[in-house]
Structure 1
Amino acid sequence: MCAQERAQAPVYYPRPSQTRLASQLSEEEQVRIAQRIGLIQHLPRGIFDPGSEPSDKKVKECVICMVDFEYGDPIRFLPCMHIYHVDCIDAWLMRSFTCPSCMEPVDAALLSTYESN
């Protein structure tokens, strides 16, 4: 594989401490990553709007990138109600399926909502 192909190939994290190109993943790892991507896509998205309530102004920054939220930023909500920039949390969840703030497992909470419906 040439350097240009390596630069364009997506990198995945089959385990938190491992980084591999998509072409190097086993079939089992590919299935697991596809399932994770599917679960991430079911997490609700929104647009950051600080609102006028004093409690709404409590959340000021994405704890992953440490950048303040700005009006109109695309955000994703986790089942624990923490919010993050979509790009930040999606990349995080590909490595670890826990909330970076409270360490709650995201998949367990997400799957329990399907079971209760």
Structure 2
Amino acid sequence: SQEQIHVPVYHPTPSRSRLASQLTEEEQIRIAQRIGLIHHLPKGVYDPGRDGSEKKIRECVICMMDFEYGDPIRFLPCMHIYHKDCIDDWLMRSFTCPSCMEPVDAALLSSYETN
């Protein structure tokens, strides 16, 4: 068993997982593009007093933990928010919002094209 060796595992498609060393060049490019898209998503810190929209969302549906003041968060185009580490990890597996299943990349690309 190879459990002891910590090589990053990537999901070139949601049903397939590969060690970083096993990725094809095409999959490496796709993953690099995905990381680039994730880094374009707006991030911030959780501040329940700042505006009303964040008050409705009290917990990160990925880890089920309540947001605490100052937690690093990321906003998806559908306006759902998550802990930054939780959603970044999730989006490497599935490029959909865990709350509403809205595809994230389609929304991102269309928002780029309108700017």
Using structure 2 for the length normalisation, give the TM-score: 0.91
Per the TM alignment, residue 99 of structure 1 is displaced from its structure 2 partner at its CA by 0.4
Cα shift at 1:57: 2.4
Q: Give the RMSD, CA atoms, in angstroms.
A: 1.7
Aligned residue number for residue 108 of structure 1? 106
Q: Aligned AA for 2:73?
A: I
Instruction: Note the C-alpha offset of 1:17.
Output: 2.0
Q: In structure 2, the residue corresponding to 1:91 is in which secondary structure?
A: helix
User: What does 1:75-90 correspond to in 2, within 5 Å?
Assistant: 75-90=73-88
Structure 1's consecutive aligned runs of 4 or more residues displaced over 6 angstroms after TM superposition are: none
Report the structure, 1 or 2, having the larger strand content: 2
CA–CA distance in 1 between the matches of 2:34 and 2:77? 15
**Which residue of structure 2 lines up, in the alignment, with residue 12 of structure 1?**
10
Q: SS at 1:33's partner residue? A: helix
The count of residues paired between Structure 1 and Structure 2 equals 114
Find the structure with the greater CA-based Rg: 1
Which runs of no fewer than 5 residues in structure 2 stay unpaired?
A: none
| In structure 1, C-alpha distance between the alignment counterparts of 2:86 and 2:44, rounded to whole Å | 14
Does residue 46 of structure 1 match 2:44? yes
**Percent of aligned positions that are identical:** 77
- 3-state SS of 2:13 partner: coil
Q: 1:72 to 1:25 in 2, by over 3 A?
A: same
Aligned-partner SS, 2:78: coil
Q: What pairs with 1:90-105 in structure 2 (closer than 5 Å)?
A: 90-105=88-103
Q: Which runs of 5+ in 1 are unaligned?
A: none
- Alpha-carbon distance in structure 1 between the residues aligned to 2:50 and 2:43: 20
SS of residue matched to 1:111: helix
Moved more, 79-88 or 14-23: 14-23
